Structure formats: structure tokens, C-alpha cells
Amino acid sequence: MPRYFMHLAYNGAKYCGWQIQPSAPSVQGEIERCLSLKLGQEVSITGCGRTDTGVHARNYYAHFDLEKPIGDCNELVRRLNVFLPNDIAIRRIWEVGAEEHARFDATSRTYHYYICQRKSPFHLDDAYNYNGPLDVEAMQKAADMLFDFTDFTSFSKLHTQVKTNNCKIQEAKWFVDNDLLVFRITADRFLRNMVRAIVGTLLEVGKGRMSLDEFRQTIEKKDRCAAGESVPAQALFLEEVEYPWC
């Protein structure tokens, strides 16, 4: 049974996230529907991870198994892109080994969170608009503390069905990209709502409402109620996913 990898991108504004949900539109559901119709067989796809409602992905990977090989992967990509909604784009489909797995083989995932600090007609739907003062230096010092921890229960959505809240942070950096303030974070895995909760808490530091010591204590408490509010989803993008063979 041949296995295929798929590279895609999507705007998550209209979806409940990547994963199929009862009675709600999902990116996975749209792609499975189109693949099944175009290939004439039921196709189930496995993604590299979940993204929450409203979150986008510039680079996302998934895999699926078929009963027989695809004749022309490039032609299938073209046909899918004609049939799929405009907010989902398939970049590439290629055959891989039967053991390669989109989720379990990923070594890291990178997210960007975009903040627009001045009124802009061009970032209404893809950035968090906040025009108050921020102490970015303090926010970076707080972000550096993330490397000291592996348990991020304080930044996890409550009552999720995961075996562990441990993650290994590999990068956490604030930088400016034109008129946007961007937070870039890379880890081996992320918990549900984790990035948005981290950014919301870092903003509390930047606004002067939380000290650096209090930020550290927030992580140590392992209590979601101790952290800041989650920032809006429309400004969060899954930017990169790394695999050992890439």
C-alpha cells in the first residue's frame, strides 16, 4: 500500500482548525473530501499536528495511504487546487516510504505570532492590532526563561487528552519585520493554545503588568489561571515543520 506526503498551506479563518470536528468545517475534512472524490476511494489523511480554530499554516505536512499508486502526482495537485476552496492550497504530493509519518517524524515546529503596533488597513485579518507601548527588551528576557523549563502546563488549554505537558523549546525570539512585531517560537511539540497563551503572558510583561520574576513563577505554578489571556488566533501562523530527511 503506497504512502504519500502532502505539502500544503491554508488560511484558517473559516475553519475550526486542522482536525475534523463534528458539525464544523475543518481543513482536514475539506482535503479528505476532495481527495476521495478525485481518487475514487475513501482517503484518510494524517496531519503533522493540530492547529486551533482560526490559526493559519504557511507550511503544513500530512500523509495518506492508498490502495494503488497515483499515476501523476503533479496532475493530482493541479486538480485538487482547482476543486479545493481558495483558502487551501496544495503545494506538492510525493511518494514516501511506508514507515514515514507526518506527525511522529517531525523534529520541530515553528510558529510566528504577528503584532501590528500602528493602525494599518493591510493587517486587519492577519495580525493582532495593539498600539500601546511595549517593553520588547523585557519581553525577550521573559521569553529566554522558556528554555529553563519543559513543563508548560500553565500555557496549555485545560482538560486536553495528552499524556504529558512537556515540550522542548528550541527558539523563542522577538523581532521586527517591517511594521510588524513578530514572536518566533520553535519546539519539538506544542500543547493546545500554548503559543497564544505564551504570547498573551509575554505581553503582560511588555505592558509592565507582570515582572520577570512573576513570569517565571507563572510557569512554575503549572496553573493555566496564573498565566495571561490567550491572544487572538488570526495572528498565529505555523511557519515551518522540520523532518530528519529535509
pLDDT (tens, 9 = 90+) of the chain, 246 residues, equals 899 999 999 999 999 999 998 889 999 999 999 999 999 999 999 999 999 999 999 999 999 999 999 989 999 999 999 999 999 999 999 999 999 999 999 999 999 999 999 988 888 889 999 999 999 999 999 999 999 999 999 999 876 667 789 999 999 999 999 889 999 999 999 999 999 999 999 999 999 999 999 999 999 999 999 999 999 999 999 999 999 976
What whole-number distance in Å separates Cα of residue 48 and Cα of residue 105? 9
Rg value, the chain, Cα: 19
Catalytic residue among 52, 144, 179, 223: 52
* Geometric angle at alpha carbon 87, from 81 and 88, rounded to 5°: 45
For residue 164 the three cell numbers come to 504529558
148 a catalytic residue: no
